[in-house]
Amino acid sequence: MKSHLAVPILWQQKVVGALSFRSNQNDAFDVDDQETAERIAVQVAAGIVVLRTHREAVADAKVRSTLAELGRDASSSGSIERLGEYVSEALRSYLEYDRISISSYDSEKQILNNRYLHDRSDGSVTANEIGQPVSSKDSVRGLAVEERVLVVVGPDDIEDLSTNYPGIQALIEKGTSRGIVVPMTVEDRVIGVVSVMGSESIDHTALEVDLVQQVVDQIAPVFSSFLLQDELKMEIERGALLASISRTVSSGLSIDEVFDSFADELQKIVPYDRLAIGDWFIDQNI
C-alpha cells in the first residue's frame, strides 16, 4: 500500500477506536478526505460505544453466572479434588491454560502442598505431585503467599523471573510462558495459592486476571473448610494411633516384639527411615 489515512474515533475526549484507509496509489488522500474521515469518525463513535457497552455487559453477565454456578458447585463439591475440577471447568471458557494447581500454605514452616493439580498438556491429573510438601522459597507461588500479592507473569519477563525464582524453570522447560498466581486468604490469613499457567505467547488481559482473582475469592471459604476437616481427621487418627502405641508398649510381649510393633505404629504418624530407641539409666548415668 502506497497511501495511508488514519483518524481516531473519540468519545468524551477518549480514544475508543480508529478509522484506517489504505490505497495502492501515491498521495491518494488529501485534506478533504481527512475531514470526511473525521466526520465519519464522529458519526460512528456513539455506535461503537454502544456496541462495546453491550459486549461488556454480556461478558459481565456471563462471568457472574459462571461465578454463581461455581459457588453452588463448590459448596457441594465434597472434596478438594472435585473443587479443583470445578475451578478448571469455570476457567476453561475464558482463558487458555495448560496447568492449574491449588496448594495449601503453612506460613510457619513456609511449606506449600499441592492439593489439586491438573495438567492439560497431556490431559491428566498428575497424582505424584499431589501431597508432596515443597518449600515456598525460590518460587513464584512463594512470592504470592509470602508477600500477599497477585503475580502476573508474561512472555517477556518469565525468563527473568526464573533467575530469582528457579522453581519456575521446570515449567519453562515444558513450554510455560505466562501465568496468574493468586494467594488465597480467609479472615486475613493466607491459606493457599492458585496458579494458572499457560504457553500462549501473549500477555493475560485484565479481564482474565480479574476473573482468576474472583474465582479464588469464591472458593477460599470452601477450601479452608476442607483443610480444617483434614486437620481434624489427622488429629483423630493421631490420637487413635497413640492409644494403640500405648497399648502395645504396656502389653506383655518381649522387648523386641514391643519395639517392633511400636515402630510400625509410629511410622504411620512420624515418617522416618531409621528409628533408634535407647534406655537411660539415671543411677548409672548411662
Look up residue 90 and give its three cell numbers.
469455570
Q: How confident is the model at residue 282 (pLDDT cuts 50, 70, 90)?
A: very low
- Output the pLDDT for position 151: 93
**Residues 5, 21: contact at Cβ < 8 Å?**
yes
pLDDT above 80: residue 273? no
173-207 pLDDT tens trace: 888 889 999 999 999 899 999 999 998 888 999 88
pLDDT single digits (tens) 55-92: 777 777 777 777 788 878 788 888 888 999 999 988 98
What is the rounded distance in angstroms from the CA atom of residue 82 to the CA atom of residue 84?
Answer: 5
Structure pTM?
0.69
> Are 214 and 238 within 8 A, CB to CB?
no
| Predicted pLDDT of residue 286 | 45
CB-based contact 191:108 (threshold 8 Å)? no
- Examine the pLDDT at 138 and tell me if it is beyond 80: no
Lowest-confidence range among 71-85, 136-150, 271-285? 271-285
pLDDT at 28: 85
What mean pLDDT is predicted for residues 251-274? 66
Q: What percent of the chain has pLDDT over 90?
A: 28
161 pLDDT above the threshold of 90: no
- The pLDDT, as a whole number, for residue 2 is 84
CA distance 212 to 70: 12
- pLDDT of 1-60, one tens digit each? 788 999 999 888 889 899 899 988 898 889 888 999 999 989 888 888 888 877 777 777
H-type alpha helices, the chain: 31-75, 80-92, 140-147, 158-164, 169-173, 206-249, 255-266
Q: Are 228 and 220 in contact (CB under 8 A)?
A: no
Beta bridge partners, 11, equal 14
Percentage of the chain surpassing pLDDT 70?
A: 83
Instruction: Give the mean model confidence (pLDDT) for residues 142-160.
Output: 89
Please state whether beta strands 99-106 and 111-119 pair in parallel, antiparallel, or not at all (unpaired): antiparallel
Q: Residue-wise over 156-185: b if at least 16 C-beta within 10 A, else e?
A: eebeebbeebebbbebeeeebbbbbbbbbb
